[in-house]
Amino acid sequence: MAMFKNNNISFESKNGDTVIGTEAYFQGTLTAKGSLRVDGRIDGSIVDAKIVTVGKSGKVKGDISCEICYVSGEVKGNVTALDHIEALAGSRVDGDIRAPRIMLEEGAIFNGNCSMDPAHRAPAEQQPQTKTQKTEAKQQ
């Protein structure tokens, strides 16, 4: 017996991905090592996720920490992503967002502060030297 009859499912739930369905409610801190899709409601934090997708019917009241975050529903809390955040048309984000790349589609609602600091930036003494810097160091 097939679990899904619709062959047009845009989110694949293989490889240990987690789905919070439209009728599901979760309260507390959710640690997701893989991908997470929220179509239901979460009251609490989402941490350590690779990709977090908040679907059109999804509502998250709490902070999200992940690599990539796609929002089509509602988020009331801060979102921190190591790679990028996308707030799609019809979504609402009430809270601060922080990522190296941020995209707000026309029709998305965003209320908060935005920070686009590059993730894991190496200090100046650890950055690779340019050819000119290497030549100057040899001359000294």
Distances (CA, A) of 30 to 25, 34, 43, 112: 12, 12, 10, 23
The stretch 53-70 carries a mean pLDDT of 98
Q: Is the pLDDT of residue 42 over 50?
A: yes
Contact criterion met (CB below 8 Å) for 95 and 109? no
Residue 68 confidence (pLDDT): 97
Residue 25: both structure tokens together: 């409610």
Mean pLDDT over the full length of the chain: 83
Long-range contacts of 21-30 (CB under 8 A, 24+ apart): 22/57
Q: Is the pLDDT of residue 125 over 50?
A: no
CA distance 62 to 44: 5
**How many residues does this entry show for the chain?**
140
pTM score of the predicted model: 0.74
Task: Write the burial class of residue 32 (CB in 10 Å: 0-12 exposed, 13-18 middle, 19+ buried).
Answer: buried
Lowest mean pLDDT among 44-58, 77-91, 112-126: 112-126
Residue 117 confidence (pLDDT): 78
Q: Is the pLDDT of residue 96 over 80?
A: yes
- Which amino acid is it at 20? I
pLDDT digits (tens, 9 = 90+) for 4-30: 443 333 444 443 489 999 999 999 999
Q: Report residue 118's pLDDT band, with 50, 70 and 90 as the boundaries.
A: confident
